[in-house]
Amino acid sequence: MRNKIQIAFDLGSHSIKSAVGRILPDNKIEILSVAEIESNSIDFGDIVDKDLLLTHLEILIEKMEKDAKINIDEDAWVSVSGKGIRSINSSTRKRFADNIDVEISEEIKQELLNQCADVQVSSDRYVLHNIEQGYFIGSSPLIRNPIGMIGKSIDAKTHVIHVRNFNLSQLDYCFKEDLSIEPFPVFDGYAASSSNLTRDEKDLGVIFIDIGSDKTNIMIYKNNYLIHSKVIPLGSKLVTKDMAAYLQTSLKEAERVKLQHVSAFSDFAEETNTFEVEIPNDDLRKIINEKEISKIAELRFEDIIDEINVQIKNIGKVYTDFKSGIKLSGGGSKIRNIDLLFKKHFSDTPIDFIKMKNVVYKEDFEEKREYVTLLGLLAWPIFNVEDKSSSLQIKDLGGIKKSISSIWKGIFE
């Protein structure tokens, strides 16, 4: 996969982002083109206006082809997210006949992985990722790779991420039939976290929080395994809507206020600081106190924090179990002092922003956390070569032009 051109599309509710990149020998990504366009064609992961989506994708493709001097007509990594995503930890066991020791082969291992996926997913859903969490051979400790070992029985554990049939069918049809591009879907939370967290962070335990426009992805790693993932329907756009209602102004003006004047932790907003807000159909402007409006934003961000605590509790953990702490990412994490608000609620644990360092581009991407998923998609072949997810297996098949549904059916039958 080295030096192979990678194409990626991140389909968000606020904007659609795209990029062309090349994987360099040192595992860095050389970005040849990156583009973004505001779009409301996607709502919480669902295509709600296909014509608009196609128009915006064609604009992005034209720009990328011009910048990178290539034709985009083969395949691309495409993000999948939103309310259609579900995940569960699954397990299965295989006992060998006559209670004799049997050597674990790749075939036995793959059979167990397929069973983990099959047992948890209904017929109207597809498995996006079937991520290994280790194996037990008899009464052994947790084993990362059982190939070549012997035992009378073997247990497999995986983290299964699946999506509605409808989402993939629409995505597949849009890209293949209208754009002649083969889409390979990846859950955006997994793409963003797997390529931007270090191995040490995943080993020590880390809670990855990607705050988007209309949702927040929570990805929890421990001992180098993904042990929990969740999409919660709370994002930074709710802050914008609350402020628009409170200020009686437009969403566009409320978004400007959020980015320029809001402190996510209102204790660090200055009571003496004021600013003007435009009122639609009115020549007058409101004078708003920075601390007053920051308190509204803080309540919404605390809703996200409350849900993070629920997810940690649901897996029987406390946040101090994760020694690498919490890593914040996504466009919603760029609100001023949001890290300090997290430190207030998660005391005695490290709180840091994700920094994207393995990027070669004419601009500095280190602080552009809104691109974390897009760059994760470009880097997918680097960081997921051992992943047994169905999407990676499809990518390895190359140019076979089958429908997504038939491919998944073949893998998991």
pLDDT tens, 142-200?
A: 999 999 999 999 999 999 999 999 989 999 999 999 999 999 999 999 999 998 999 99
Which whole number is the average pLDDT over 306-318?
Answer: 97
pLDDT-derived band at 201, boundaries 50, 70, 90: very high
pLDDT-derived band at 392, boundaries 50, 70, 90: very low
- The token pair at 314 is 């649901």
* pLDDT at 279 (0 to 100): 84
221 and 267 fall within a common domain:
yes
Which whole number is the average pLDDT over 306-314?
Answer: 97
Which whole number is the average pLDDT over 313-322?
Answer: 96
177 and 315 fall within a common domain:
no
* pLDDT at 263 (0 to 100): 97
286 and 264 fall within a common domain:
yes
Q: Which of 139, 164, 189 is the last residue of a domain?
A: 164
Residue 130 belongs to domain with CATH number: 3.30.1490.110
What is the DSSP annotation of 215-263?
-EEEEEEETTEEEEEEEES--HHHHHHHHHHHHT--HHHHHHHHHHH-B
Distant-in-sequence, close-in-space partners of 13: CB < 8 Å, separation ≥ 6: 40, 42, 43, 44, 45, 82, 212, 213, 214, 215, 235, 237
Give the pTM: 0.90
- Judged against a pLDDT cut of 70, whether residue 402 lies above it is answered with no
68 and 94 fall within a common domain:
no
137 and 154 fall within a common domain:
yes
* pLDDT at 120 (0 to 100): 61
Residue 377 belongs to domain with CATH number: 3.30.420.40
- Tens digit of each residue's pLDDT (9 = 90 or more) over 264-278: 999 999 989 999 998
298 and 337 fall within a common domain:
yes
Share of the chain above pLDDT 90, in %: 79
Q: How many domains are contained in the chain?
A: 3
In the predicted model, what is the mean pLDDT of the chain? 90
Share of the chain above pLDDT 70, in %: 92
| Gyration radius of the chain over CA positions | 23
120 and 19 fall within a common domain:
no
Q: Which of 113, 139, 164 is the last residue of a domain?
A: 164
Which three-class secondary structure state does DSSP give residue 337? coil
* pLDDT at 228 (0 to 100): 98
* Domain of 160, in residue numbers: 84-164
* pLDDT at 382 (0 to 100): 86
In a domain, 120, yes or no: yes
Q: Which of 298, 327, 353 is the last residue of a domain?
A: 353
- Judged against a pLDDT cut of 70, whether residue 129 lies above it is answered with yes
- Tens digit of each residue's pLDDT (9 = 90 or more) over 244-271: 999 999 999 999 999 999 999 999 999 8
In a domain, 328, yes or no: yes
158 and 209 fall within a common domain:
no
In a domain, 70, yes or no: yes
Name the residue with higher pLDDT: 332 or 390: 332
72 and 125 fall within a common domain:
no
158 and 245 fall within a common domain:
no
pLDDT-derived band at 73, boundaries 50, 70, 90: confident
* pLDDT at 318 (0 to 100): 96
* pLDDT at 118 (0 to 100): 85
Residue bearing tokens 């910048």: 67
* pLDDT at 355 (0 to 100): 86
- Among 17-21, 205-209, 285-289, which is the least confidently predicted range? 285-289
In a domain, 255, yes or no: yes
In a domain, 409, yes or no: no
Which whole number is the average pLDDT over 396-407?
Answer: 33
Q: What strands lie across the sheet with 216-222, from one edge to the other?
A: 225-232, 216-222, 206-211, 326-329, 351-353
pLDDT-derived band at 3, boundaries 50, 70, 90: low
- Judged against a pLDDT cut of 70, whether residue 390 lies above it is answered with no
- Judged against a pLDDT cut of 60, whether residue 26 lies above it is answered with yes
* pLDDT at 395 (0 to 100): 35
> 208 with 193: CB under 8 angstroms?
yes
Name the residue with higher pLDDT: 119 or 190: 190
In a domain, 405, yes or no: no
In a domain, 404, yes or no: no
- Tens digit of each residue's pLDDT (9 = 90 or more) over 352-382: 999 887 899 988 888 899 999 999 999 998 8
* pLDDT at 367 (0 to 100): 87
217 and 178 fall within a common domain:
no
Q: Are strands 326-329 and 206-211 parallel, antiparallel or unpaired?
A: parallel
Name the residue with higher pLDDT: 399 or 115: 115
In a domain, 153, yes or no: yes
330 and 362 fall within a common domain:
no
Q: SS3 letters for 19-84?
A: EEEEECCCCCEEEEEEEEEECCCEECCEECCHHHHHHHHHHHHHHHHHHHCCCCCCEEEEEECHHH
